[in-house]
Amino acid sequence: MNRVKEYRQRAHLSQMGLAEAIGVARQTINMIENDKYNPSLALCLNLARVLNTDLNTLFWLEADTKE
């Protein structure tokens, strides 16, 4: 689960813009935003850095939501 889309929109970035900023394809951002791909730690850290936030705010486990 993640808030990548929310934070990307807050940063006024398109999927393409965010993808270019961290050096991945736009489809990868799309897959992450739709919870269809679990990115590596390095990619998560890069996303957090570019979106000016931290890992815990951006990503969490689905089990944590249910609690």
Q: Which of 39, 48, 51, 59 binds another protein (CB under 8 A)?
A: 39
B/e letters for 16-36, b = 16+ CB within 10 Å, e = fewer, are eebbebbebeeebbeebbeee
Q: Which of 3, 5, 11, 26 binds another protein (CB under 8 A)?
A: 26
Count of residues that bind another protein according to CB under 8 A: 15
Does the protein bind another protein through residue 37 (CB under 8 A)? Answer: yes
- Rounded CA gap, 16 and 26, in Å? 5
Instruction: Let me know how long the chain is.
Output: 67
**Given the rule CB under 8 A, which residues bind another protein?**
16, 23-28, 31-32, 37, 39-40, 42-43, 46
